[in-house]
Structure 1
């Protein structure tokens, strides 16, 4: 114990000066920390203030709502697209036309056969026969590219054009 007492009496001034220097360094670091903290706090307040005096939380909520509305619209558009796509598959997409002279006594190619098919090759073949004294039009149903009824050569030709 005497040793410690002698040590402090001998070197007490140096120890006190060392402690004083450490306190001054700590005080300086504390001042630097306060200045930096104030600077960061100002930036934080500015960030939280956001645009048009709205804080960041309100902006995030607003943008999240906008995203939700956009996703809802995308889902509606997807449903609408799928509905239109299903309807389009049933619309006429393939057409084949053949004009010909059905009777020798008629001067021009006024008779015709038209094949009208959808995506699944379902539809009809319309044929119009033009003669001097009469004109006849009839239709034959087509399912999967095949007719249950016999087709004339011109009707077969129109069907092949449509299938291509």
Structure 2
């Protein structure tokens, strides 16, 4: 035992220096850990902002419920969008009008032809002819871009312009 005490006494300064180095290294490690803990605490506070005494499981569950509700509403909105998109195709989308002088003895462009079409190029071509003795209006149905009635040159022009109009319907 005495040999051990002598050995400790002989190496006491070295042991003391070693312990001081270990304490210094442990102090540095503690400082680094406190900084890391501070960062984790900031993240935790950010995660738990606006929450009083709820536990994390309850918070995550409530957010998942909100996400499910948003998904249901999004699916419903998409179904409604599809219905509206189908309805829009049958709405008037393309209108072209052209005024012209139908008869040489009339002083101005008082006659007209107008094409009114939907997204499937169904609709009507209206023509109003103005003469000194009276005015006449014609309506000719259009089915898929064609008419079963003979069309005048002006009616063909407005029909082709209406068919070639770019109506943009935004699909996802």
Common topology (TM > 0.5): yes
TM-score (norm 2): 0.63
The answer for the alignment partner of 1:159 in structure 2 is: 159
Give distance in 2, aligned partners of 1:71 and 1:154: 52
Partners in 2 of 1:98 and 1:156 — Cα distance?
11
Which residue does 1:8 correspond to in 2? none
Q: Distance in 2 between matches of 1:54 and 1:134?
A: 83
**TM-aligned CA deviation for residue 126 of structure 1:** 0.7
Aligned to 1:61: 61
Q: Look up the match of 1:134.
A: 134
Contact 1:115 1:125 survives alignment (8 Å): yes
CA deviation after TM superposition for structure 1 residue 91, in Å: 1.6
More helix per residue: 1
Q: Are residue 146 (structure 1) and residue 146 (structure 2) matched?
A: yes
Name structure 1 gaps, 5 residues minimum. 1-42
Q: Name the TM-score, length of structure 1 as normaliser.
A: 0.66
Q: Tell me which residue corresponds to 1:85.
A: 85
Shift of 1:153: 1.0
Larger Rg: 1
Q: Please tell me the root mean square deviation across aligned C-alpha atoms, in Å.
A: 1.9
Q: Which range moved further: 137-146 or 98-107? A: 98-107
Q: How many residue pairs get matched?
A: 118
